[in-house]
Amino acid sequence: MHAPITYSEPGERRSLIEERPMRPPIIGKIRPGIKVLTRTARENAKAVAIHDALLAQGKSFEHIGNEIHRATGIKNALYPKNVPWFTCRGSDFANPAVAEEIVQRYGEDRGDGNGHRLWRFPVIFAFDDWLSNLPNQLVAWTASGRQYFSEYGPDGRRYCKRYAPAVRDARANRPKRTWGGRTVILRQDDDIPDGLCDPQSCPQYQAGACNLSASLFFAIPLISGLGLIEMPTTSIYVLQKAYAAMQTVALARGRLVGVKFWVSKQEIEISRIDESGNAVRQMQWLITLDADIDIAALLDGSDRSAPALELATQAVAALESNTTVHADAATPPPESEGGERPLEEASDSDIESQFEDLVARLALASEDGRSQLRAYAIAKFGRGWSKREHDVHKLLEEMRTALANPLAFREQVAAIAADVSM
């Protein structure tokens, strides 16, 4: 009797698709700025007419530039312009309706003549690793794609890479087909003989052909779509500020996933070197990240050497969560032989489930309710209460007692929260 046919064990590759690194699908792009006509293009009536017509149709700047080039012969008819709002167009999304929904839900008219624009919006990151949310590298582009690009080696050094030249198949008299994508090799030529990425000695970087290329990848609350949204940037200042914001939250909360950030722009004075080699300062609108969390409350009285996601931070997460919790979905805490399990013996997961259960049963699971309850806890027990186990237990006891009259407790919480915010 033949042995039964078996497949690969769980966790091993089972498909051609699984041989390649998984990348989250991208459903669209939100761009940090706009493009406007160059002086040469503005002086051409046909180019202006094409620009105005296609811009009104919501076409991408790349499409507008290509159409102007095709009709007038003007190359690079558009150049980037820094503005305080974001560009969210249907032409940059697989489903144009998603872009319209984002602008309608989170956009606003600030009465400055710019109309209904996207100035500030919330985002949720998909990864706890900041680099997965903000991949970046130095890239030299050509008309056919990437020419050179930086990658870090196992030794922690940054290397300049390129695609290997196509190898011709002598029998078929054509280039050999490659499996799994083009082969990446180390750049080694007269300019970069050791393959190390050194912008100071790189002719492409010094000529302005190689620059920073980075993107933020995120989801937007209440916006449907099976994938993430991309926001490209070429600013090292944006990269540094976004990195600092994510690292700060990660150190305080122990994670990035599930934390709601806000993306906006801030006008900041930056320094650059002009054509004469002099340092000059100028104002520029830069992408900024902020988060609706109280860092002081999380760090006050905490053990800096311990992970942030311990007992009390789970309680904070429960209070700060924007997800509505239904009472019938909550898992009741385990009970001892004599009835309810004492709080002193409860595990971290038990305390978290008790919080969720009580928050839902007291009708405080909305965003406003959780915010008020959190303000109430700070006012009642002081900052850093979430790191003091006895204070966490006291709050749980108060909430359980309040089940006898939830309305009165909600009114009390709302009143104290209002006093705190005044």
Please compute the mean of the pLDDT values over residues 270-289 and round it to a whole number. Answer: 84
Give the number of domains in the chain: 3
* Angstrom distance (rounded) from CA 336 to CA 343: 11
Specify if 114 maps to a domain.
yes
Q: Is the pLDDT of residue 210 over 80?
A: yes
Last residue of a domain, one of 93, 108, 124: 124
Do residues 142 and 174 both lie within one domain?
Answer: yes
Angle between helices 311-320 and 367-381 (to 10 degrees): 140
Statement to judge: residues 45 and 139 lie in one domain: no
In the predicted structure, residue 309 carries a pLDDT above the cut 60: no
Taking the C-alpha atoms of residue 300 and residue 314, their distance in angstroms, rounded to an integer, is 16
Q: What pLDDT, on a 0 to 100 scale, did the predictor assign at position 350?
A: 65
- Same domain, yes or no, for 177 and 91? no
Cα–chain center distance at 126: 7
Structure tokens at 138: 């130095």
Q: What is the pLDDT of residue 341?
A: 39
Residue 34 is assigned to a structural domain of this protein: yes
Asked if residue 171 and residue 148 are part of one domain, the reply reads: yes
Q: What pLDDT shows up at residue 4?
A: 52
In a domain, 104, yes or no: yes
Mean pLDDT, all residues of the chain: 81
Phi and psi torsions of 46, nearest 5°: -65, -40
Residues 180 and 195 in one domain: yes
Rounded mean pLDDT, 303-307: 38
Instruction: For 331-351, write each residue's pLDDT tens digit.
Output: 333 333 333 334 334 455 667
When pLDDT is cut at 50, 70 and 90, the band that residue 304 belongs to is very low
Mean pLDDT calculated for residue range 138-156? 91
Sign of the four-CA dihedral 232, 236, 241, 242: positive
- Domain shared by 67 and 84, yes or no: yes
Q: Is the pLDDT of residue 325 over 50?
A: no
pLDDT band at 32 (very low <50, low <70, confident <90, very high): very high
At which residue do the structure tokens 């966490």 appear? 392
In this structure, are 299 and 417 located in the same domain?
Answer: yes
Task: Say whether pLDDT at 237 is over 50.
Answer: yes
pLDDT confidence tier of residue 301, bands split at 50, 70 and 90: very low
Starting at the edge strand that comes first in sequence, how are the strands of the sheet with 121-124 ordered? 121-124, 260-273, 279-291
In a domain, 235, yes or no: no
Domain presence at residue 385: yes
Please report the sign of the dihedral spanned by the C-alpha atoms of residue 328, residue 334, residue 335, residue 337.
positive
Residue 226 domain-assigned? Answer: no
What pLDDT score does 324 carry?
38
Q: Is the confidence at residue 26, as pLDDT, over 80? A: yes
For residue 300, give the amino acid letter.
Answer: D
Identify whether 135 is part of a domain: yes
Q: Are residues 337 and 369 in the same domain?
A: yes
- Domain co-membership, 393 together with 305: yes
Rounded Cα distance between 300 and 290, Å, is 20
Domain-terminating residue out of 74, 101, 124: 124
Give pLDDT, residue 24. Answer: 83
Same structural domain for residues 76 and 151? no
Q: Name the DSSP letter for residue 284.
A: E
Say how far residue 207 (Cα) sits from the centre of its chain: 31
DSSP annotation of 319 = H
Q: What is the DSSP string of 168-229?
A: EETTTTEEPP-SSSPPEEE--SSSSTT-B--TTT-HHHHTT-EEEEEEEEEB-TT---SSEE
Rounded to 10 degrees, the C-alpha dihedral 207/209/212/218 comes to: 160
Question: Do 173 and 156 share a domain, yes or no?
Answer: yes
**Residue 88's pLDDT is what?**
94
Q: What pTM did the predictor assign?
A: 0.65
Predicted local distance difference test score (pLDDT) of residue 299: 59
Query: Among 218, 234, 268, which residue terminates a domain?
Result: 218
**Residue at 196 is within a domain:** yes
pLDDT band, residue 282 (cuts 50/70/90) = confident
| Alpha carbon distance 126, 256 (integer Å) | 8
Q: Which residues form the domain of 63?
A: 20-124
Judge if 347 and 406 occupy the same domain.
Answer: yes
CB 82 within 8 A of CB 57: no
Angstrom CA distances, 106 to 70, 322, 353, stand at: 36, 17, 32
Pull the structure tokens for residue 58: 């919501």
Contact 325, 356 (CB under 8 A): yes
Q: Which pLDDT value is given to residue 300?
A: 57
